Amino acid sequence: MNPTIALLPSALLGPAVWQPVRDQLRAAGRDVIVTGEQTASGTTVEKDAILPPQQGTTPVAPQGLREMLHTRTGRDGKLPVWTSWWPPEEVAAAIARLL
């Protein structure tokens, strides 16, 4: 059995961040869906989100993640492509584990 792989992008980044991984997995013969991306049939696959509290605010991300992202933010206020956050060999190994 070769199950379909579901890639779940961050709400902050959207489905385009998974496009290179999706393409590599499909080239390797795997079935892949990316939530938030329109399918060939014209439907969009979505995932659940965190519901905000009845009062107060909800942080966009946990404190530790916000701190990590802040250290990676460029002077323009943007994050670099996610695959540059880790050494290339770690990214390659992570993708290879999916194949």
Instruction: Tell me the sheet residues that pair with 34.
Output: 7
Query: Any idea which of 2-16, 22-36, 45-59, 64-78 has the lowest mean pLDDT?
Result: 45-59
Enumerate the domain spans of the chain: 5-45+61-98
Model confidence pTM above 0.75: no
Question: Is the pLDDT higher at 30 or at 36?
Answer: 30
Contacts 24+ apart (CB under 8 A), 47-56: 47/8, 49/11
Mind listing the pLDDT tens digit for each residue in 38-96?
Answer: 666 655 555 555 666 788 887 777 888 888 888 988 888 888 888 888 899 998 888 88
